[in-house]
Amino acid sequence: MPNPVIPWPGGKRRLIKHLYPHFPAHECYVEAFAGGAAALLMRPHPAPVEVINDINGELVRLYRCLRHHLDEFIRQFRWALVSREMFEWAQMERPETLTDIQRAARFYYLQKLAFGGKVHGQSFGYVASGSGPRLNLLRIEEELSTVHLRLARVIVEHGPWHEVVERYDRPATLHYLDPPYWETEGYGVDFPFSEYERMSDYMRVAKGKVVMSINDHPEIRKVFAGFTMIPLQTRYTIGREGRDSVAGELIIKSWDDSQATLI
C-alpha cells in the first residue's frame, strides 16, 4: 500500500483509521480536495471508479507525471542532494521555464523538504530527532513505483471542487470532501467561509453520499447543523523538535448509518 506522495497541510494519514469505518459501500469514489491523496492511496481496497481532483495545478501536474512519466521523473533526482542550498536554488527557479516533468520534480523536491509541508512561504525543514529528512533519494524509485501503479486507473481532474462533485454525482458515488480547515493557513489558496456554506447546501441535495473532514469549530458546527457529526481528537506532530499537539476535528456525513451499508 503506497504512502501519501508528499506532505500536505491538513494531511489525513492520522485520521484514516477513524475515517474509513464511515465509508459506505460505493461504486465511484470522488476526492475533490486531493492534497497528498492519503485517503485514496491508503485505502485497503480500490473502488471500481476513482477520481481525485485539486485546484492546485502543481499538484495535479505531479500526479499526472507520476502516472505517465515515472522513469523520466525519477531521472531528475539522479544527481540530487538533500541540502538547504539545493532547496534554495530550487526555490529560485522560474517554474514557467521548465518542462512539465522538471516542474513536477521541482515541486516534489520542495514539498518533501519544506518545513510543515507548507505550500507557500516555504523554509527548509529538518527535525532534531527521528528518521531524518522526509526525502530519501535512495528509495525514491521504490516509493514512487507503488504510487505509479496505484494511480494507473485513477481519473485525475483539475478544477473547482463543486464542478467535480456535480460531474460524478450518482446514487452509487461516495464524495470525500477534505477542504482547507477554517481559520488555518498554509494551503496556498483563498477559501472563504461561503465555500463551506456551499458544501452544506450541496450535501443536502447530493444524489450520492458525502463524508467530510474538517476542524471542530463553532462556526463549522453551525453551518453543518442537522448532519451526523463525529467529533475526534487527533494527535499531530508539530515543530522542528517533533512535539505532539492534539486538535479537535469533525467527520460530517450526509446520511445516518441506518441508510447505508458500510464497507
What does the pLDDT look like over 105-152, one tens digit per residue? Answer: 999 999 988 876 666 667 777 665 555 567 888 889 999 999 999 999
Q: Is 5 contained in some domain?
A: no
Question: 3 in a domain, yes or no?
Answer: no
Which string of b and e fits 21-57 if b means at least 16 CB within 10 Å? ebbbebebbbbbbbbbbbbbbbbeeebebbbbbbbbe
Does residue 105 fall inside a structural domain?
A: yes
In a domain, 9, yes or no: no
Number of domains in the chain: 1
Q: Is residue 6 part of a domain?
A: no
Please tell me which residue, 222 or 262, carries the higher pLDDT value: 222
- Say whether 118 counts as a known binding-site residue: no
Residue 201 falls within a domain, yes or no? yes
C-alpha grid cell, residue 152: 494507473
Q: Is 255 annotated as a binding residue?
A: no
- Residues above pLDDT 90, as percent of the chain: 64
Query: CA-CA distances (angstroms) from residue 85 to 20, 73, 76, 220?
Result: 40, 21, 17, 42
Residue 8 assigned ligand-binding role: yes
Asked if residue 183 belongs to a domain, the reply is yes
**Mean pLDDT, the chain, integer:** 87
| Strands of the chain, DSSP E | 28-31, 49-53, 154-157, 173-177, 209-215, 228-238, 243-253
Q: Mean of the pLDDT values across residues 146-163?
A: 96
pLDDT tens-digit map of 53-107: 999 999 999 999 999 999 999 999 998 888 999 989 999 999 999 999 999 999 9
Cα(145)–Cα(84) distance, rounded to whole angstroms?
A: 26
- Own/partner contacts of 228-231, CB < 8 Å, gap of 24 or more, are 228/252, 228/253, 228/255, 228/256, 228/257, 229/253, 230/18, 230/22
Instruction: Assign 263 a pLDDT band (cuts: 50, 70, 90).
Output: low
More confident residue, 237 or 81: 81
CATH code of the domain in which 177 resides: 3.40.50.150
Half-sphere exposure of 24 (CA within 13 A, CB side): 20
User: pLDDT at position 235, please?
Assistant: 63
Query: 163 CB contacts (<8 Å, ≥6 apart)?
Result: none
Residue 254: per-residue pLDDT: 96
**Distant-in-sequence contacts of 42-46, Cβ < 8 A, 24+ apart:** 42/1, 42/2, 42/3, 42/4, 42/13, 42/16, 44/1, 44/20, 45/263, 46/150, 46/153
Q: Which residues constitute the domain of residue 229?
A: 16-259
Alpha carbons 224 and 226: distance in angstroms, whole number? 6
Judge whether 4 lies within some domain. no
Q: What is the pTM of this model?
A: 0.88
According to the annotation, is 209 in a ligand binding site?
no
pLDDT number for residue 173:
98
